[in-house]
């Protein structure tokens, strides 16, 4: 059982939260201009690092707010939590997969 610190409510058990996948995946500026492959990249492809990973969580049984957390996928340690209107903490891996060159 992970204990996740909600930025608004403090530490609560994992069972109070809903997982929302990778954070900072920007919606394409012009979806019409994308190829099917690029669109699929945006919809379905996500990073899968061993280590720090910025992801979205919702405190669904508490304040019901979405926020971002940086979790180590290997140790499960949560090193940062931050509101959606706050910048991603410095020094963390950037560039979600959706912004990468397709076919590179």
Partner 1 sequence: MAEQMTVKPAATGTTDAAVLGYRRSPAHHLAELMAAASGEQVRLREVPFLTQITIRATAPEAVEAVGNALGVTMPSAVGEVAQGEFGEGGSGSSGSSGSSGSSVSVVWLSPDEWLAVLGDEADTGVSIAAVVESLSVALGERRGQVVDVSSNRTTLELSGSKARAVLDKTIELDLHPREFPVGRAVSTQMESVAVILWRSADDTWLLMPRASFAEHVVGWLADGMREFS
Q: Which residues bind partner 1 (CB under 8 A)?
A: 8-10, 12-13, 15-16, 61-65
Residue 39 or 66: the one with the smaller Cβ distance to partner 1 is 66
Partner from Zn ion, partner 1, none contacting 23, C-beta within 5 to 8 A by type: none
- Residue 9 in contact with residue 83, Cβ under 8 Å? no
Partner from partner 1, Zn ion, none contacting 15, C-beta within 5 to 8 A by type: partner 1
Helix/strand/coil percent split, the chain, to 5: 15, 30, 50
Measured distance CA(84)–CA(36) in Å, rounded: 29
Partner from Zn ion, partner 1, none contacting 54, C-beta within 5 to 8 A by type: none
């Amino acid at each position: 059982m992970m204990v996740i610190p909600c930025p608004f409510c403090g530490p609560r058990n994992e069972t109070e939260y809903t997982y929302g996948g990778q954070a900072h995946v920007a919606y394409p500026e012009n979806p019409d201009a994308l190829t099917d492959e690029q669109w699929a990249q945006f919809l379905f492809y996500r990073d899968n690092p061993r280590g720090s990973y910025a992801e979205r969580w919702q405190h669904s049984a508490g304040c019901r707010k979405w926020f971002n957390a940086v979790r180590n996928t290997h140790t499960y340690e949560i090193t940062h939590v931050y509101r959606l209107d706050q910048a991603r903490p410095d020094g963390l891996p950037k560039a979600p997969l959706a912004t990468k060159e397709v076919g590179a």
